[in-house]
């Protein structure tokens, strides 16, 4: 696991102050450990610039430990775009050595393939002051349905779009999505459900990931998490 202390430099990255720091925000996202792959002479993939990311937003600095909540849906409070990251030059070609055909939305992650979807958060970096588990989210699979229950992590009601993303089961997989706009509050949980599989003319698709987007000036949602990290039972798969 990586360890980041307050304003600690990340290995392989040079941190510098952004010209216009922004105010503190509360962000619901998915915390991962990432690094940049390089293909060096001899066909060996090495990983440089280790870092934590909230979605695809690099964590530039943190006042709290991050490792305990890796691969979890989290609530992060902090300041975006205060600390800029500039990448150092490394020998070799950026990217792993052994990548087969890739879909345009695929990104090679430290622990497997990730999906960069349209409409993601535009923050460039995030300085974390507080971090906690997002306990207002639960997901269950029953009777061929994926049921998502949501509660706001802060007081009041907030608009959120919940969507399930489906991966195809034939050849180079395609993708589908089904979304629903809901208003969530801290007082009661809101439930939405989706089919575990979809059948189209192009083939069968299985539910693979949950996204939450939207919010307001009190809380922002930029959560994209594979279902396997949210379920205590096996995630839906191809038949």
Domain ranges of the chain: 13-132, 136-229
Choose between 44 and 89: higher pLDDT.
44
pLDDT tens column, 9-57: 333 343 444 435 468 999 999 999 999 888 887 788 888 889 999 999 9
CA distance 47 to 35: 6
Choose between 66 and 38: higher pLDDT.
66
pLDDT tens column, 186-220: 999 999 999 999 999 889 999 999 999 998 888 99
Which of the residue ranges 46-55, 59-68, 95-104, 215-224 would you say has the lowest mean pLDDT? 95-104
pLDDT-derived band at 102, boundaries 50, 70, 90 = confident
CA distances 233 to 99, 141, 172, 229, Å, are 30, 8, 26, 10
* pLDDT for the residue numbered 18: 40
pLDDT-derived band at 122, boundaries 50, 70, 90 = confident
Is the pLDDT reported for residue 1 higher than 70? no
pLDDT tens column, 141-171: 998 999 999 999 999 999 999 999 999 998 7
* pLDDT for the residue numbered 75: 98
For residues 70-91, give the mean pLDDT.
86
For residues 86-109, give the mean pLDDT.
77
* pLDDT for the residue numbered 108: 87
Choose between 47 and 70: higher pLDDT.
70
Which residue, 215, 206, 199, is CA-closest to 162? 215
Identify the CATH class of 136-229. Answer: mainly beta
Is the pLDDT reported for residue 225 higher than 90? yes
**pTM (2 decimals)?**
0.86
Is the pLDDT reported for residue 98 higher than 80? no
* pLDDT for the residue numbered 212: 97
């Amino acid at each position: 696991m990586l360890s980041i202390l307050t304003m600690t430099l990340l290995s392989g990255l040079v941190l510098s102050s952004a010209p216009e720091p922004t105010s503190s925000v509360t962000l619901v996202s998915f915390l991962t450990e990432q690094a940049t792959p390089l293909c060096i002479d001899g066909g060996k993939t090495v990983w440089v610039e280790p870092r934590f990311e909230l979605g695809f937003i690099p964590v530039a600095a943190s006042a709290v430990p991050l490792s305990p909540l890796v691969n979890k849906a989290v609530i992060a409070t902090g300041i975006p775009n205060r600390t800029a990251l500039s990448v150092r030059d490394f020998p070799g070609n950026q990217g792993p050595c052994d990548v087969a055909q890739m879909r345009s939305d695929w990104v090679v992650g430290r622990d497997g393939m990730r999906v960069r979807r349209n409409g993601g958060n535009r923050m460039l970096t995030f300085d974390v002051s507080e971090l906690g588990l997002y306990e207002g989210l639960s997901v269950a699979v029953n009777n061929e349905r994926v049921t998502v229950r949501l509660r706001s992590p802060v007081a009041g009601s907030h608009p959120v779009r919940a969507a399930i993303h489906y991966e195809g089961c034939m050849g180079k997989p395609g993708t589908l999505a089904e979304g629903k706009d809901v208003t969530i509050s801290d007082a009661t949980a809101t439930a939405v459900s989706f089919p575990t599989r979809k059948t189209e003319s192009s083939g069968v698709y299985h539910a693979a990931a949950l996204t939450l987007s939207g919010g307001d000036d009190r809380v922002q949602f930029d959560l994209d998490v594979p279902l396997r990290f949210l379920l205590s039972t096996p995630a839906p798969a191809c038949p």
